[in-house]
Chains A and B, each alone.
Chain A
Amino acid sequence: MNEKAQRTVFLSGDEALAQGAFEAGLGFASSYPGTPATEILEYLAKFPEVSAQWSVNEKVAFEVALGASIAGARSLYASKHVGLNVAMDPLMTSAYVGVGGGFVVVSADDPGIHSSQNEQDNRLLARVAKIPLLEPSSPQEAYFFVKKAFLISEKFDTPVMIRLTTRIAHTKENILTGIRKEFSCPEFKINIPKYVMVPKNAFQRHIELEKKLLKLKAYSEKSLLNKTEINDRKIGFITSGVTYLYAKETYPKASFLKLGMSFPFPAELARDFAGKVKNIFVIEELEPFLEEQLLMAGIKAKAKDPSLRVGELRPEDIPEIVKGKKRIHAPATSRKPVMCPGCPHRSVFSVLKKLRLTVTGDIGCYTLGALAPMQALHTCLCMGGGITLFEGFKKVLGRNVVGVIGDSTFVHSGITGLINLAYNRTRGLVIILDNSTTAMTGNQPHPGVGITINGEPTKKLVLEDLCRSCGADNVDVIGAYRIKDLEELISSRVNADSLSVIIVRTPCRLIERTRAPSPALDQAKCKKCYLCLGLDCPALRKDEFGLVKINGKFCVGCNLCANICPAKALTKNE
């Protein structure tokens, strides 16, 4: 390799994986933002050689990427663990059709649920989808493994899953980068039995897929991705991913079978290891994935107590697993996140709370509306569920229920729900909390913003037109800070005999950083009702004497507190 082109940089697991893919001649990449996967596409978008996109949702992202692969380019899909659920439909048949240029599916899982709705273990999905699974344990390995993944993908004509976890995706380390090697695309040839999955063809492809899995198992048995380290023969660990590093750090003198390619499972390699080492422990986060494979192969190994299947592992857990201890889950003591000062969502939730409505919610910053003291959002299940759960609630409760969803989430998975409402003659109110960005993941653009991942202007999706086309009878657009008008509008629509959408459109505070003077506060007029504190604004607090105080450093002058103060102690500062 050209030494001049090598550079040591400080990259996260996401970035290192993206850099490795870039160097492997990646031609196409797609994703929908989601922690901890977001930075993969953000990094790839910098390279003119890569066609990178934020897709409308993960299903779309997966299909576009697989299309690019079949047509001949090296291609990559990335999402968080729950994002892959949205792409399950194409994922499950992708192993049947195979690839053209190499196709890598990156799943960034979130053990410990730092920023997700569940902690599913997507290693299981690789097995269900019948595609090989690579598990790097560090950013450095993510960089190398992705290059290997393209080779495996092309050699065996299959998508390859790379599974990261938060502690790999969001760990940074020194990475020695190299130069890009262009990939020469194989020419696409029409091949109907391979690419048209009608029953007859699919049946034949399934037969071939099972043969392929046996070949992949043989490959896994010999692959350098799986490493045996024989040291102390009295204690050994079979492990994968970041947990290898925790075990290695805690028991540096032990023997290790470190699985970089854990599906198809190299059972003979494990059997060989088990023959050389006396006490073997399986160390893995979440599901008993390796544990079950060992069990099926009849290899004896001690595994963690099932109580440790919940939450992420930490280095200090390894000795506990060796001792066979249970985990007692302590309640979290960390500070809760709050909406930013001046956040437009706070205004809307203050109105919904005042009107005592039941609110089906969705995924985004506005999910914070469920936390005390606001508690004005009452469900959060999945992307798009704010609208569809609303329909179920409405059918049963009849009155005083409203569905809320963010703008990016609406485009991702809300549109079909709105059409379903109209088609099934459901009446009621859906509120789109339009802050004109994908806020929670760090302000990525989406079709409603009219800007691409590269910051270039593109066709802008007009939500109000779309909602009308879906069948909404009334579509109103209103600013979030007009709370009296908002209250009137919501009251008039919520139980009306029509289908209404209110688009509350005010940009995210992290985009629009304008400030106005803080409200004036007249302590003499304050009745200490603390209605203002119920807004959970970081700029308001109660001091040790019970007096309300404004923190001028945080306050952006949205005047929501002044607008709701019944005693007029807080007033707009003109």
Chain B
Amino acid sequence: MNKPDIINVFFCGTGGQGVLTAAEILGQAAILEGFHVKKSEVHGMAQRGGSVESHLRFGKKVFSPLISKGKADYLVAFHKEEALRLKDYLGSKGSDLTVYLEKALHLEEGARYLNTYLLGALSAYLPIKEKNWLAALEAAFFNKNLKENIAVFQKARKEVMSR
């Protein structure tokens, strides 16, 4: 795979949904792949149902920790209203992955492991090898239903890749 310049992934949702965990796993996977990574978010109110967004950027060298409006390559939404509200972050050639949110919510395991499902879908688009994703998932979920999380991740990844 050709390593592109900078990839911008914008995560959004509400407190307690696993938005920050998802961004953390992508960050770890991108580091294992050899990228320079910056991830920026705001803590404090996150656990209390308020809006949560995480800006994750990776590439050869990343300057700004924030994604500019209209520059996100991928919008990963955990909440439909938040996706609508923050849609202007997505670039004209960017991919809106909100479709996978609806898919996930229709599946029992997708709703339960929403963040790993969405990461699985996202992983199909990104230049990061599966083994690095799995290592990052393992680090995040080593004692929290790791098997189930990996199964959901791989299911979503395969679904998107086979399309």
- Residue of A with least CB distance to B65: A171
Task: Check A172 against B63 for contact (C-beta < 8 Å).
Answer: no
- Residue A8 CB within 8 A of the other chain: yes
- Residue A211 CB within 8 A of the other chain: no
Assuming the contacts A314-B66, A337-B49, asked whether A170 and B40 have C-beta atoms less than 8 A apart, the reply is yes
- Residue A6 CB within 8 A of the other chain: no
Would you give the shortest CB distance from A308 to chain B, in whole angstroms? 16
- Interface segment among A241-249, A393-401, A479-487, A491-499: the answer is A241-249
Q: Which residues of A contact B51 (CB under 8 A)?
A: 334-335
Within 8 A of A (CB), among B102-125: none
Within 8 A of A (CB), among B23-54: 24, 27-28, 31, 36-45, 47-51
Q: Which residues of B contact A441 (CB under 8 A)?
A: 44
- Residue B144 CB within 8 A of the other chain: no
- Residue of B with least CB distance to A34: B44
Assuming the contacts A171-B65, A314-B66, asked whether A114 and B27 have C-beta atoms less than 8 A apart, the reply is no
Task: Check B45 against A315 for contact (C-beta < 8 Å).
Answer: no
Q: Which residues of A contact B69 (CB under 8 A)?
A: 314, 316
Q: How many A-B residue pairs have CB under 8 A?
A: 99
- Residue of A with least CB distance to B46: A337
Assuming the contacts A115-B43, A172-B37, asked whether A138 and B49 have C-beta atoms less than 8 A apart, the reply is no
Q: With A and B bound together, what is the CA distance between A371 and B137 in angstroms? A: 38
Task: Check A8 against B48 for contact (C-beta < 8 Å).
Answer: no
Within 8 A of B (CB), among A210-254: 242, 245-246, 248-249
Q: Which residues of A contact B37 (CB under 8 A)?
A: 10, 172-174
Task: Check A335 against B42 for contact (C-beta < 8 Å).
Answer: no
- Residue B82 CB within 8 A of the other chain: yes
Q: Which residues of A contact B64 (CB under 8 A)?
A: 245-246, 248-249, 315
- Residue A516 CB within 8 A of the other chain: no
Task: Check B44 against A114 for contact (C-beta < 8 Å).
Answer: yes
Most buried by A among B39, B47, B65, B82: B65
- Residue B14 CB within 8 A of the other chain: yes
Q: Which residues of B contact A249 (CB under 8 A)?
A: 63-64, 68
Task: Check A170 against B38 for contact (C-beta < 8 Å).
Answer: no
- Residue of A with least CB distance to B49: A338
- Residue of B with least CB distance to A8: B31
Q: With A and B bound together, what is the CA distance between A173 and B62 in angstroms? A: 9
Q: Which residues of B contact A338 (CB under 8 A)?
A: 48-50
- Residue A30 CB within 8 A of the other chain: no
- Residue A36 CB within 8 A of the other chain: yes
- Residue of A with least CB distance to B139: A10
Within 8 A of A (CB), among B43-97: 43-45, 47-51, 62-66, 68-69, 81-82, 85
Taking residues whose C-beta sits less than 8 angstroms from the other chain, chain B's interface range is: 20 to 34
Q: With A and B bound together, what is the CA distance between A442 and B47 in angstroms? A: 9
- Residue B18 CB within 8 A of the other chain: no
- Residue A510 CB within 8 A of the other chain: yes
- Residue of A with least CB distance to B35: A174
Task: Check A173 against B36 for contact (C-beta < 8 Å).
Answer: yes
Q: Which residues of B contact A138 (CB under 8 A)?
A: 38, 65
Task: Check A171 against B39 for contact (C-beta < 8 Å).
Answer: yes
Q: Pick the contact of B49 from A167, A168, A335, A442 — CB < 8 Å?
A: A335
Would you give the shortest CB distance from A173 to chain B, in whole angstroms? 5
- Residue of A with least CB distance to B82: A335
Would you give the shortest CB distance from A197 to chain B, in whole angstroms? 37
Q: Which residues of B contact A10 (CB under 8 A)?
A: 24, 27-28, 31, 37, 39
Interface flags, A132-174, vs B, CB<8A=1, else 0: 0000001000000000000000000000000000111011111
- Residue of A with least CB distance to B39: A172
Q: Which residues of B contact A340 (CB under 8 A)?
A: 47-49
Task: Check B68 against A36 for contact (C-beta < 8 Å).
Answer: no
Q: Which residues of B contact A315 (CB under 8 A)?
A: 64, 66, 68
Task: Check A172 against B27 for contact (C-beta < 8 Å).
Answer: yes
Would you give the shortest CB distance from A345 to chain B, in whole angstroms? 11
Q: With A and B bound together, what is the CA distance between A316 and B42 in angstroms? A: 19
Task: Check A170 against B49 for contact (C-beta < 8 Å).
Answer: no
Q: Pick the contact of A334 from B43, B48, B50 — CB < 8 Å?
A: B50
Q: With A and B bound together, what is the CA distance between A337 and B51 in angstroms? A: 7
Interface flags, A337-365, vs B, CB<8A=1, else 0: 11110000000000000000000000001
A-B contact pairs, 13 of them (CB 8 A): A172-B37, A172-B38, A172-B40, A173-B36, A174-B37, A245-B63, A246-B63, A248-B64, A314-B68, A315-B64, A333-B85, A334-B85, A340-B48
Please name 10 further chain A to chain B contacts, defined as beta carbons within 8 Å, in addition to the given A248-B64, A335-B14, sorted by A numbering: A8-B31, A171-B40, A173-B36, A173-B38, A174-B37, A245-B64, A245-B65, A246-B64, A316-B68, A441-B44
